Amino acid sequence: MTDRVIQIEVASPLEVFGPADVFLTQMQNMYPKLKIVARGEFLKLFGDIDEITRFENRFDLLQVHFERFGKINEEAISQIMGDDENDVVAGQPVGEDILVFGRYGKVIKAMTPNQKKMVSSSVNNELVFAIGPAGTGKTYTAVALAVRALKNKEVRKIILTRPAIEAGESLGFLPGDMKEKLDPYMQPLYDALRDMLPTQKFLSYLEDETIEIAPLAFMRGRTLSNVYAILDEAQNATEGQLKMFLTRMGKSSKFIVTGDITQIDLPRKQQSGLFQAQNILKGINGIDFIYLDGGDVVRHKLVTKIIEAYSKTEDQSS
């Protein structure tokens, strides 16, 4: 027998459990193989791991429903917590384009054609390179894919890494312990994860290292099996560093490498490993390159114009 604790994130216990625990009783009747114990804003589940996972996934969707409609009733519980073949959230089918339901009911999915290519490619390939300018959703989509894989029990762990400071990763001059030195460089990854996971779950994943965020240098000598690994800002990795990361791949793992080859911060004498990889690894079965552009920008509309303006200047000078 396994036990697991899940937290109510978007509503009060009374709104979720119902008056006199009527909704909680309904859920218990729908999952007779589980023992469900309410403790304040937490539910403790006892039973078979598969049944617990099914309940937890459904309960996440129930919280999405509450976020959208502001209430829960017996019909919603019956519809959302019920049979796997009747996936309905907030009155709409759960489609394959939805990657994950984030905090406060946020629906996270691929928004542009090239982001959708990233998603499709990740299904069909073990290693995907996503290359494009800032704001095109490379990192965010990659993190969403990793979180989805973790929630679906396709992997046991997520590893997110990036070159900490350009290529040399020289952290010694910064104040604080190692975590304090690294956090500013890892902040975009933290931000994406906080969008997609309840706070307590995110913190617990960090604590037990289900999610590991570390600089690229920390990957050396390891074998990464049964993980979803993302190398972000890969344009600032040298050829040797990128090769080192790619050769960490173990069994049952997926790798995504993201980067912007127009923003390389390496010293002039060092060439970007990401730039070289396009030629070295092209055409290998199981490896795919997806290129994003200004049309994929999901930030402020001015970002697209800025990217286009810089691209014109670079074309004229080349």
**What average pLDDT does range 272-301 have in this prediction?**
89
Distance CA 220, CA 157 (A): 18
Least confident interval from 139-143, 185-189, 204-208 = 185-189
Distance CA 27, CA 301 (A): 45
pLDDT digits (tens, 9 = 90+) for 144-180: 999 989 988 899 999 999 887 544 445 555 555 656 6
pLDDT at residue number 83: 60
Domain 107-317 part of CATH 1.25.40.10:
no
> Is pTM beyond 0.75 here?
no
> Residues 132, 136, 139, CA angle at the centre, nearest 5°?
85
pLDDT at residue number 86: 43
Residue 240, C-beta contacts closer than 8 angstroms, at least 6 positions apart: 273
pLDDT digits (tens, 9 = 90+) for 84-128: 544 444 444 444 567 887 766 677 888 899 999 999 999 999 999
SS3 state at 278: helix
Query: 219, 194 in Cβ contact below 8 A?
Result: no
Which numeric CATH code is attached to 2-94? Answer: 3.30.1370.10
Phi and psi at residue 228, to the nearest 5°: -110, 110
pLDDT digits (tens, 9 = 90+) for 52-62: 988 988 888 88
Q: Residue 287 above 80 pLDDT?
A: yes
Q: What does the block give as tokens for 191?
A: 């931000």
Domain ranges of the chain: 2-94, 107-317
Quick one: what percent of the chain has pLDDT higher than 70? 85
Q: Residue 194 above 70 pLDDT?
A: yes
Query: 208, 129 in Cβ contact below 8 A?
Result: no
Q: Which amino acid is at 226?
A: N
Strand 42-47 relative to strand 92-93, pairing: unpaired
Q: Residue 290 above 90 pLDDT?
A: yes
Query: 21, 38 in Cβ contact below 8 A?
Result: yes
204-209 long-range Cβ contacts below 8 angstroms, 24+ apart: 205/158, 209/157
How much is the CA Rg of the chain, to the nearest whole Å?
22
